[in-house]
Amino acid sequence: MEIQYVIINFLILALILFIFGRKTVRRIFGDRRVRIEQELNEAEAIENLPEEEETFEAFSAPEISDDCVNEAAAAVSEKIEQIEQFGERECREVHREMIADARIELFEEMKAQVAKIFSASPYYEKIRELDSVVLDNILTKIKITPGDMAYLKHKDILYVTITSAYPLSPELMDRIEKAATELVDTVGGKISLWFLEDSSLIGGFKLRIGDTVYDGTISEELYQFRKSLTRDPIENTDAAGELIKEFFDKAKNFNPHVHVYQLGRVMTVSDGICWMDGLADIMYGEVIEFECGERGMVLDIQQNRIGCVIFGEYEHIESGSRVRRVGRIASVPVGENLLGRVVDALGNPIDGEGYLPPSERRPIEFKAPAILERSPVSRPLHTGIKAIDALVPIGKGQRELIIGDRQTGKTAIAVDTIINQKGKNTVCIYVAIGQKETLVAEIRDRLKSHGALDYTTIIAVPASGSAALQYIAPFSGAAMAEYFMYAGRDVLIVYDDLSKHAVAYRELSLLLHRPSGREAYPGDIFYLHSRLLERAANLSAEAGGGSMTALPIIETQAGDISAYIPTNVISITDGQIFLDSELFNEGQRPAVNVGLSVSRVGGAAQRKLMKQVSGDLRTRLAQYRELKEFMQFGSDIDDATMKALSSGALLTEALKQGRYSPVDDSLQALLIFAVSEGFADSLSPADMAQFEERLYRYFKYERKELLEKLETGNKLDSKTKSELLAALKEFKAGL
């Protein structure tokens, strides 16, 4: 009986809440949803998240003596001399390291010289006079962050630290203690107040409440100076002199600020992974900076610690050292100035061709275009490869997988496609993930020799690179491609290859102690590749009209396309070009397996001319392969079977193609039409290459007008077909 009363009372209470409280609940959760969406939109914003800062009245600029300038130049003169003597040697990595070391040494020397200037009279006294103004600015900014609230809830105490370059006056100390106490009292809690001195701050002081630092010191200004100086690399004395002049000019026009940032602490570092505490308000994918200058990206947020990957060398990051929020989501430079260059996953040049000036930046992670922002894929992207343009057509905005065993020509197809985009107003991005440096150098030289490097950016992270850089490389490439796509241009991006990308992500995930999934891979590898490849699209006219065509590459083991990673990417993409190792060993180049290759876009992205002449090509080739295998077990062949075998052999030979020799779409259609109509039946397969060369030459020089009709026409009408047949008969007679 009591249970019945309990149930009845519960139902009555639920009814009352439904009738009178649903609007309130909807409003509460609705506001929360709006707030979350707003925060996500801010996190995805293209612009950098700015550091909060406030200026206040500056004092008279100090005079910089020539001795300071000369001492700074002398400090790195030996290093610069070594760089100049290094010259144009091939070891660019050593050259870059020498330049980086010289820059660090020069900055440290200039900082020491500026510290001398500001520590002497009368500037030391003037800095002390500004302490009260700095404090007024800081007290207008201090607040309790969500991270501080969480810490107070669990610990019931908040640590407040004042660090100054010299002893503060009792009046300032009392004001700070009173303000901090009142701030924490508003949310219920206590403070633990600490006063410290650190002469390396040079002048001023900083207040730290929880993880947030309100910094008004001269050392912070010098840090900001160093970040803002964007000059060419220090490769000679002239470059060093310009950098010194710019640095001391900024010191002359010294204008103090109050900078607001958050600090955390390094707990452990190993194998390129860093675990930190603090930074309770940090976001996934945000960039952090260590005391030594290295940077990393947050990839894991747990209750008591934060995991991040380190972009550079991690050996000199020490446990207990400080780590700072940079204030922006991981991003890379984008723009026209990257075309023709080889850069790493962070957008830094690694080709030895000089400094890249700063440009616009885009986040490496960005939401894919919505369905309403997309248009159907209908424009062809010609690869210049006969077997692909005729059988597996690719459209602008499509995602077409290139899959096959090692050394079957996957990269060759991608490079040939890039070369074929010359003069077609298509920007190309080639992402080399875990490839040999010699291979990347060879691809660069090949693109340059064919005039394709001018519209191509190569992003290279070699096999010796860190797993973190291999992980972000394809996302960096997508960000660079998106810049052009949203500007209304067509882009081709190649990911070579996503198998190595999956291995790099697996390594990071296991180091971050994430549970392994199927076949020891992280279970979210599918989501990783889908959110990467979904960024490829053909935008609608309202969204800008640009397109991004993705050609991901996957390496199989012994032709097994049913493995975990291949099936993942096959299900994400709009088709696949399967390269068969048996065909490759037989001499078929490219070794495209017609039976397993497919384009789900199909003829929608193919010229009607090519669609017309190659309509039954796939069936005839498949029939030829089947008959060829069947004839291994028999010897009696009738005339029809012999004709099918002969025709199939000629078609197979006609589709062969050498590397770096793309063929125009109209010439491809011409060759396929000529072979299909029987004009090569009297030839042996060995003579097909010569037949093709003569056919192209004949129509380029003898039948130029008819060839132009094929190039401009969209379909082969009866009149043009008659003219074409007559021309082919004349060509055949002249052989």
Q: Which residues are catalytic?
A: 600
User: Which residue pairs, CB below 8 angstroms and at least 24 apart, start in 176-181?
Assistant: 176/135, 176/207, 179/139, 179/142, 180/142, 180/207, 180/209
- How many CA within 13 A on the CB side of residue 2? 0
User: Which residue pairs, CB below 8 angstroms and at least 24 apart, start in 680-688?
Assistant: 680/650, 680/654, 681/646, 681/647, 681/650, 683/650, 685/649, 685/650, 685/652, 685/653, 688/650, 688/653, 688/654, 688/656
Pull the structure tokens for residue 515.
Answer: 């549970």
Q: How far apart are CA 547 and CA 491, in angstroms?
A: 6
Q: What is the SS3 assignment for 429?
A: strand
Secondary-structure breakdown of the chain: helix, strand, coil percentages, each rounded to the nearest 5: 50, 20, 35
How far from the centroid of its chain's Cα atoms is residue 650's Cα?
Answer: 44
Based on C-alpha coordinates, what's the Rg of the chain? 33
Q: Quick one: DSSP state of residue 367?
A: P
Count Cβ atoms within 10 A of the Cβ of residue 370 and give its class: 0-12 exposed, 13-18 middle, 19 or more buried. exposed
Q: How far apart are CA 492 and CA 487, in angstroms?
A: 14
How far from the centroid of its chain's Cα atoms is residue 49's Cα?
Answer: 19
Q: What is the SS3 assignment for 177?
A: helix
Q: How far apart are CA 381 and CA 315, in angstroms?
A: 46
Whether the CA torsion 198, 201, 205, 211 is positive or negative: it is negative
Tokens 């909807």 -> residue: 26
Those residues with Cβ within 8 angstroms of residue 335's Cβ, 6 or more apart along the chain or in another chain: 359, 360, 483
Q: How far apart are CA 596 and CA 604, in angstroms?
A: 20
Task: From 216, 123, 202, select the one nearest 162 (Cα to Cα).
Answer: 216
